[in-house]
Structure 1
């Protein structure tokens, strides 16, 4: 069963791929009404049509779904794949999903649908091998030892230099051979300083907040640098009661990390390159917001 057409957002049917320019004086009021207002999105007309026509079958498993199959990570029959944007990301994304996390309620699948070449989803206890890669992989998770995105390069550099010193101090290897080995492998102190640290992969945990510690404390993730998104606030319709509004949904965390990384680490002006990661999320947000605003009983499960 689908939400009735009366709750479909009344937006222009023209392609809205261009950013909406807003005067500074209007920014605060618009943001309070709709925090996703100024995204640079591909046309969502395909989602509006799919919402009006109702649930459709998954092309792979045959399950009845709305918009996409959260099991197979593909659009359903009434959502043409070619009309779904494909986002190119500067980093690889690994999502570790708790086995008790309900697939239909998770936003992790949005990332896989929209950036399939850069995103992988694993179900805990299955975790990729990160041993020896803690200088190029970070875990996004809040905690007493977590750092801000602005400090990522500094701390990765310290890890590279530490590895270089440890290799050079290996007394079982002749000094000349040790020096050649570290240079060849790119771990030499001067070489690493010249090249600078390079973040390659970011790990996210997809779980209710009460279940996250089990995954975050796993010995395979324990040595990774932890990064916290301290200034971003969620607008997730399933926000967990009693948790601060800085506890983001999975797709929000991925999106905001990339936006902040682009500006703070890559030192480039952000121009909406990753906004389409919120292609499904923003549409669902407005569906539910409009349903609640019209007095109808909003049921997020109808979007599954």
Structure 2
């Protein structure tokens, strides 16, 4: 089975490295020229919990895939949400009738885009609670533990979903099959929607955010808007349980000392963020259902303002 990691940033590098180390046939696909050149020249340098590795994994620009005439059996999607359609379009020549896609992007509703390129039977959706960072082009910082949860989008896809669970689990990615991954996706969106943007705006780690007197108040207000909108989507979130899950992320012995992905994009790398696919989704759906979402609206607008002020691209 040929596995393509579409989006070889921090998280894509983690999954690509761990799958490659486990003996799988893996390729990386990304658009960051310096990252690609560094990996091609010196390999992917990985700091895995203080132990150093160098992994020589083939890496390509998306537009190069058609020239290689490769056929991909499984695509793991780690692009930024706004890059998803362009990535799948570039990979269209490598997608065959049996190609499956596992979407592990942050945010909500990405399956609507994926269905433009392949049947629902071939789509898996999921979440990952792993963390990852980049110390620079070709240099991955992989600290701590994590997990993956996935499910087939259509009933016919369950057998293949279970096969993917086995592949990821054998690579040490702690994967499990979920009978209701949609709940978990929304739950994770609540975590990202309350923590990612606030840490980016405050230039803080998750633990530093948690140390402030107003952290829980801010989180409660944002979270409540997610819960109200999810209810209109026929999804009942346990608001108290999700709040406790978010608060647990403050622990510096867990992921508390981690800068979340939106901070890495905006503050560290001056890149555009995925806020429109997390808090922005709540705003748009709130407008659709007649629900006021002032906290998600303000957070989304503040992130966009900061993007403009620093010239994020």
Shorter chain as denominator, the TM-score bin is under 0.3
Greater percentage in helix: 2
Bigger RCO (CA 8 Å, 6+ sep): 1
TM-score normalised by structure 2 residue count: 0.26
After TM superposition, the score normalised by the length of structure 1 is 0.27
